[in-house]
Structure 1
Amino acid sequence: MCPPSIGICPPIDFVVSHEKVSQTSQMNVHATEIVHSQGFGQLEIQNQPKKNQFPLLKFPRVVLLECIENLDVLEIILFSLLSKRAKEIAKLVHWTPLDICLRTESPIEIHLKCPIYPYMEWIIEFNEEKESSEYPYFESYQTGPTVEHFLFLEYNGNAIEDSKQMTEHICEVFRSPVSGVDIGEESLIEWISKFQPMFRKVWIWDDVITSVETLSRVLNDLKVTDYVFLGSVAIDEKFQIRVPIPAQHISIRNSYWLTLSSILNGTNSMIRLHGSKLAPKDINTILKEWKMGSKLCNLEYLEIDTVAFQDAESYTNEILKDLDWTDGDENDGRPTTVKLDGEWTDTLPQVETVRNLTGCRGMIGSIFKTFGIFEDGKLELCFYFQVWSRQN
């Protein structure tokens, strides 16, 4: 039994790696079968002989709350969907806040994590593969120390709307905001901007943004603190923005519309730009401003992928113009990896030449790059700027 201060217990029965859980046919909440019909919220209990029914809701409130406190996360959710009264009862418990992430790329999933169980994740997935009579069903998988518990619900043709309603329901029951959302279609942009004022992480995939108006709505209405990923946009190539994107980490694919002014006026710590149209003199300006310390004080990592219309040596010389740099040493302590979006780690490329700048705060900024050749002879440049400090 979990202490009341914790509020969420892990499932009692774990299952070894990649094997189906025995929970598929039976839940701890009740012994009756629950089916998911006619979309979200349409849970009904099939008629069963009275001897098979368990009158949980008839318990005194104190006893009922103690029972609910010891349910698994997915069991709590299913219990709260039984009726309005069950939902209100579930909300009375002071649950440990959940980390909630809605993923709307196929398959559509809601990912739930609890900080007191770092190696456990609960996933609600809208699935198209099973016959409707088999829903809902459960499976658990273990990979290394991590255990994933799945609740599969039927994909009824409108899973986007169902997932939105389910997400809202979970947020209400557990008193937890959505921490992250990935957006696979344009209609979700308006919903998330109205649903809650701020998110930690947002991913918007390729071709979701198809107009300047939609991009402006994203930049103006979505408030993101930690990480923003913007996929390729299908808008006028003459369009540009000069205002900063306020998230701590930004990663933009096909970023021709992001200007030097946007970068210089921002407070981003990590910037990754693919398909950029920043000129070498723009990159030179970024380095000078960082070195002086008047702007870009928070910058820790900058990556710019672009096309160079001149030879590699001329391009490099223009980037390094009037910068007081020194040659870097592979043994000087510079980290060889960088943590992207605050979670996953990427190994930086090994290069022969590294130039170092020293900023006004004593930080070191390492400059290095890689080149490639396109089929039409154009030069592809990937420029890196990594900020770090020597360990005394």
Structure 2
Amino acid sequence: MAAPYTLTAPTAAGSPEDVTFGQPKDVDQFVLNISDNQSMGHYDRPINYSRRRTTSKNLVGLQWILDFENELDDELYTTRAIDGNQFPSYIDSVLHGPKAFHHLVFPNDEHFETMRKMVEHVSMIFRTPITSFGIHQQNDSSTMSIVKWFCTLQSSVVDFNIDTTDDITAPTLSFILDNIKVTDYFSWELKMNTPDFEYTKAIDIPTLILSHSQWITLKSILNSSSRVIVLCESNLTFWDINSFLKHWLNGSNPQLEYISIRRSMKGKAIEEDIEEAFQIITKDLNVKEHEEDGRRPMKVRISLHRKSSYSPPNDLCYDIVRDDGTIGTIHQTYFNRSDVPDFKLHFFYFHVWNKKI
């Protein structure tokens, strides 16, 4: 192993303290974000770096971040020798609310070589896996390259967030879903470039949030073990939703707590659309109007390790009840689309709960 290198960091009290990287430390988490945004500063934009957060015994309460930027300030950086390579870098600190975030900043080169070497180096030193992985503003080929490299480090990650500069291809999407196991939270803000592509395999991710989910099929949802599912721009029909509810009553999706489905559609007057949709969605179901009595939990945790939640709708709701007493509360609504004339957004919400708990 190369000789440790030392940086000077402010403590919580503001006095300098030497911190040595190169020996094992207690690590809170390892977060990796990769972005190509070059225009704004820290925390004023979607995070523009790959980062390493650590909390060591002598830095209790502080967070250290390995930050890979597209442009370095020539007046700030110095050169460090790490594993026989020379890396320009500098130290930066940012106050974000009551917390101070301390950055060790490196360049982000075209083929991510610096990022790869530094992540592998620090991962070896701290002997801990990456917990969160984010890819931001990269094209499809870069995204595939980064994901393939990531798979050489580890096969699973707690959180995965991704958005790209162009539409993603079916091979890249399939490779990600088939090769990276996400154990808590997956957020996907991108479009497919293959309109007729459909993914039918189970997606066993506890929290699944997709901004463009045209490729998700009913079969995939029914085979999945997700706890929270948020699907925007879905191609699921009212009849698909009706089929989903019938399968749920028969025991499918036992882990599900919440699903929302947003669809864009051309329709009639909103009042007529709502009535027609309700009749199809609830066809052959024993539905009763929901009575709010305070027993229903009004927050659904989005992530198991973050303080974030959804508040399900509580007006104009209807209940269906499974044989085991579990209740599914249904709500739907429409909104006019301001960006597309004559089109509406249809929202369907389904909240699963049990008044005995």
Instruction: Pick one of 86, 96, 113 that aligns with 2:26.
Output: 96
2:11 is matched by which residue type in structure 1? D
TM-score (norm: length of structure 2): 0.78
Q: Is 1:385 aligned with 2:347?
A: no
Aligned counterpart for 1:307 among listed residues 241, 264, 269: 264
Structure of greater Rg: 1
Name the structure 1 match of 2:84.
Answer: none
Q: CA deviation at 1:333?
A: 2.7
**Of 209, 218, 224, which residue of structure 1 is paired with 2:176?**
218
Q: What is the aligned counterpart of 1:166 among 118, 136, 153? A: 118
Residue 369 (structure 1) aligned with residue 332 (structure 2): yes
Residue pairs, 1:61-210, within 5 angstroms: 75-77=19-21, 80=22, 90=23, 93=24, 95-105=25-35, 106=37, 107-114=48-55, 119-127=61-69, 128=71, 130-135=73-78, 136-143=89-96, 146-153=99-106, 155=107, 157-158=109-110, 160-184=112-136, 185=138, 186=143, 187-207=145-165, 210=168
Change (3 A) 1:124 1:323: same
Q: What TM-score, normalized by structure 1, do the two folds share? A: 0.72
1:266 matched to 2:224: yes
3-state SS of the aligned residue for 1:193? helix
Identity %: 26
1:227 deviates by 1.9
Q: Count the aligned residue pairs.
A: 313
The one-letter code matched in structure 2 to 1:126 is: F
Residues 365, 386 of structure 1: 8 Å contact kept: yes
Q: For each residue in 1:153-184, what CA deviation from the matched residue of structure 2 results, as whole angstroms up to 9, or x when unmatched?
A: 3x364483322221111211111011111123
**Residue 308 to residue 100, structure 1, CA distance change in 2 (3 Å):** same
CA deviations on 1:48-71 (whole Å, 9 max, x unpaired) are xxxxxxxxxxxxxxxxxxxxxxxx
Task: Give ranges in structure 1 of 5+ residues lacking alignment.
Answer: 1-10, 16-20, 29-74, 81-89
Q: CA deviation at 1:208?
A: 5.8
Q: Assess if the C-alpha contact under 8 Å between 2:108 and 2:115 holds in 1.
A: no
Segments of structure 2 that go 5 or more residues without pairing to the other structure are 1-8, 38-47, 79-88, 268-272
Deviations 1:65-112 (A, max 9, x none): xxxxxxxxxx232xx2xxxxxxxxx2xx4x334411101124213131
- CA RMSD, Structure 1 to Structure 2 (Å): 2.8
Query: Are 1:104 and 1:160, in contact at CA under 8 Å, matched by a contact in 2?
Result: no
Residue in 1 aligned with 2:255? 298
What amino acid is aligned across from residue 335 of structure 1 in structure 2?
P
Residues 136-156 of structure 1 show CA distances to partners (whole Å, capped at 9, x for unaligned) of: 443445555534222233x36
Matched, 1:358 2:321: yes
**Residue 386 and residue 145 in structure 1: after superposition, are their counterparts in 2 closer, same or farther (change >3 A)?**
same
2:184–2:206 Cα contact (<8 Å) kept: yes
Instruction: Report matched runs for 1:321-340 at 5 Å.
Output: 321-340=283-302
Alpha-carbon distance change, 162 to 292 in structure 1, aligned in 2, over 3 angstroms? same
When you count strand as a share of all residues, which structure comes out higher? 2
